[in-house]
Structure 1
Amino acid sequence: MSEGRSDVLDGAIAPSDNSALFGHEEAQAFLAAGYRSGKGHHAILIEGPEGIGKATLAFRFANHILSHPEPADAPAEMADPDPGSVVSRQIAAGSSHNVLHLTRPVDEKTGKVKSAITVDEVRRAGRFFAQTSGTGNWRIVIIDPADDLNRNAANAILKILEEPPKRSMFLVLTHTPGRLLPTIRSRCLPLALRPLADADMARALAHLDIRLEGERGARVLAAAKGSVSEALKLVNYGGLDIIDAFDHMLGHPDDAPARREMHKLGDILAAKDSDTIFDFFATLVARHVNAQAKAAGLGGDLAAAERFARLSSELSERLTVADAYNLDRRQTVLSILDDLRTAGAVV
């Protein structure tokens, strides 16, 4: 049971429809063994960076459970889901009465994905359990990711986790577990996933018909840091070009061509349907400024470290305000780049 999504990256396969998972063999074995024992935890906190396969693993495990509803009869290993099976087809279509995918909903007015998972979404879980009570079937809730729960939604989930229904399973995904309520973390069994190794990255991208070759392929692997979604942004959304333009502008702050690049970048990031690459840029800026603050601190330049730390906070707030009030993105980008130049954020 899930709503149609508009935020699956170009070139990606929706996790609910992806029959292949690369890497994470130990995590799969751990989940399969725990389920087969009949003593598995009712809530698994699947931790790790964005884009490494957490959601694909969650749907894969849900498929495993629903395909083998009696733990004692389940196989010792998780096999690739059978795309032709009723269970797989229902999960892929979002029509399974035994799986609820809680994620940021689409705003019906704007057609865009909202910024948070609200308490109204969590209330769907209450109705989900009420409608399926008495069937004896497993009921699986995938929270994707729990980082997006607002405060009221997080408290509502906590109440369900404290008194879980029988034959229920919660698969709670998180990119940054430290941001979750400690009480939610304490009620889940943590399962940490690592970024994909280069060989698994190459296989995962080949599965999406992307071949990494030559110097450009090596750059994608290095910049993606084991994240398939990051690699897709680099390859299919012009992320590498954004990085090159950004680095050139910061390395040559007073160069006329760099100024032209800055305005060109502003136009690209302000274009229609540019949400993905704009978020990529925002993350790039945040990582750069934080790295400058850390380097200054380690180098003993506490004044510079404080300056960059303050700049990081200011830029984060500006991006939040720009998004909330739908401000001109081009002007936002240009003002951010100007602030970086003024701060002396030289690469």
Structure 2
Amino acid sequence: MSEDVHVLDGAVAPARNPHLFGHQAAEAFLARSYSSGKGHHAILIEGPEGIGKATLAFRFANHVLAHPDPETAPDHLSAPDPDSAVARQIASGASHNVLHLTRPVDEKTGKTKTAITVEEVRRAGHFFAQTSGTGNWRIVIIDPADDLNRNAANAILKILEEPPRRSLFLVLSHAPGKLLPTIRSRCLPLRLSPLSDTDLSQSLSALGLSLEGGRTEETVLAMSKGSVSQALKLLNYGGADIIEAFNEMLAADGPAARKAMHRLADVLSAKDAEVLLSFFLEHLGDHLVEQARRAAIGGSLASADRYARLASEINEKIGISQAYNLDRKQTLLSILQSARG
């Protein structure tokens, strides 16, 4: 499976990305832990989506395979050498010592599945069986573990409970609280923070996206919340326009509000709008959480509870719509009507 199916327009696949900004402390920790010879067999790399977790994981995998003896490994991580055999193999997905588990593509529809399935996790069993006699490090990157369905999560747990010799698991998570507690308990947590404005700007510049000064830069940096993927969705997918349209819909009344809802639903239900829809639903969730917080601070507990229940109801509607392949526009119109209150 091509790794590029998960890569946003304008981004670089983490396995090939030579740039990593803002996580120097995490890089130093991983290097020191490895060179000590006492590193944990499973590391849970936590943090919001799009801040560099996968890029860090692949950089560490390059480091380990380029320096298989911890005692002689340097005490810092470096950008992978593009001319080295290890880096080339990892970048092309041809390394026999690195397995990247992520959501697979459905062969019938050509679309990415909604979860990492147990069949994908079984690849890890074959991976370890085929490389058991090499004596090399075997590295599994689970990206992200939040996408494991229950059967897949239980299958990973069994491997983590009895890890093969010289194996390393890099478990990525945007929301570690949603993982099985037993998986979390078998991993060493490493928390990454959202990127600073400076690091985010440098990350975007490395991708050839230079933010202009003034309101555009200020708006993108504020809306991105330290995430490169959020910035790309704002800049390359029309995310900023969607947020503006949503705010206009909330402010409108009567026929103008209905027209605004239909325009927004039309855009979000388009055939190739999966990324934009996901972006909007995340924004809507954040909006409702913020409304609930403001209501609670203002002493209106009933309103806070209503917003909290509304967020849960919207998630349920989306789940049902996806499970039964319901008309997306009608589902969105129902959700937008609910959001208006």
* TM-score category (smaller protein): over 0.9
Measured in 2, the distance between the counterparts of 1:78 and 1:297 equals: 45
Deviations 1:199-244 (A, max 9, x none): 1000000011111112111100000000000000000000000111
Deviations 1:58-85 (A, max 9, x none): 0000001111111111111111111222
Partner of 2:186: 187
Q: Does residue 88 of structure 1 match 2:122?
A: no
Deviations 1:122-173 (A, max 9, x none): 1111110000001010000000111111111111111111111111100000
Displacement of 1:14 after TM fit?
A: 0.5
Partner of 1:100: 99
Contact 2:3 2:13 in 1 (8 A): no
Q: Read off the aligned partner of 1:127 and give its amino acid letter.
A: H
Measured in 2, the distance between the counterparts of 1:52 and 1:190 equals: 16
> Mapping of 1:1-347 within 5 angstroms?
3-213=2-212, 214-254=214-254, 256=256, 258-341=257-340, 343=341
Q: Read off the aligned partner of 1:243 and give its amino acid letter.
A: I
Measured in 2, the distance between the counterparts of 1:284 and 1:118 equals: 27
Contact 1:82 1:88 in 2 (8 A): yes
Measured in 2, the distance between the counterparts of 1:170 and 1:339 equals: 42
Displacement of 1:5 after TM fit?
A: 4.1
Aligned to 2:247, the other structure's residue is in SS state helix
Measured in 2, the distance between the counterparts of 1:115 and 1:53 equals: 22
Q: 1:253 to 1:340 in 2, by over 3 A?
A: farther
Measured in 1, the distance between the counterparts of 2:240 and 2:100 equals: 32
Q: Which moved more, 1:91-100 or 1:287-296?
A: 287-296
Instruction: Note the residue ranges of structure 2 that are not aligned, 5 or more in a row.
Output: none
Aligned to 2:172, the other structure's residue is in SS state strand
Displacement of 1:4 after TM fit?
A: 4.0
Measured in 1, the distance between the counterparts of 2:185 and 2:335 equals: 39
Measured in 2, the distance between the counterparts of 1:272 and 1:311 equals: 27
Measured in 2, the distance between the counterparts of 1:263 and 1:217 equals: 30
Deviations 1:292-312 (A, max 9, x none): 222222222122122222211
Contact 2:46 2:174 in 1 (8 A): yes
Displacement of 1:3 after TM fit?
A: 4.7
Measured in 1, the distance between the counterparts of 2:40 and 2:253 equals: 54
Measured in 1, the distance between the counterparts of 2:221 and 2:255 equals: 30
Measured in 2, the distance between the counterparts of 1:259 and 1:85 equals: 58
Contact 1:3 1:105 in 2 (8 A): no
Instruction: Note the residue ranges of structure 1 that are not aligned, 5 or more in a row.
Output: none
Q: Read off the aligned partner of 1:239 and give its amino acid letter.
A: G
Measured in 1, the distance between the counterparts of 2:307 and 2:25 equals: 40
Q: Read off the aligned partner of 2:130 and give its amino acid letter.
A: Q
Q: Which moved more, 1:279-288 or 1:3-12?
A: 3-12
Q: Which moved more, 1:231-240 or 1:149-158?
A: 149-158
TM-score, length of structure 1 as denominator length: 0.95
Q: Read off the aligned partner of 1:300 and give its amino acid letter.
A: G
Aligned to 1:6, the other structure's residue is in SS state helix
Displacement of 1:86 after TM fit?
A: 1.1
Deviations 1:290-343 (A, max 9, x none): 2222222222212212222221111111111112222222222222111222x2
Contact 1:266 1:333 in 2 (8 A): yes
Measured in 1, the distance between the counterparts of 2:182 and 2:325 equals: 35
Contact 1:5 1:106 in 2 (8 A): no
Q: Read off the aligned partner of 2:243 and give its amino acid letter.
A: I
Measured in 1, the distance between the counterparts of 2:95 and 2:253 equals: 54
Measured in 1, the distance between the counterparts of 2:301 and 2:3 equals: 49
Q: Read off the aligned partner of 1:288 and give its amino acid letter.
A: H
Measured in 2, the distance between the counterparts of 1:253 and 1:180 equals: 42
Aligned to 2:295, the other structure's residue is in SS state helix
Contact 1:293 1:304 in 2 (8 A): yes
Displacement of 1:51 after TM fit?
A: 0.3
Measured in 2, the distance between the counterparts of 1:31 and 1:334 equals: 47
Aligned residue pairs total 340
Aligned to 1:100, the other structure's residue is in SS state strand
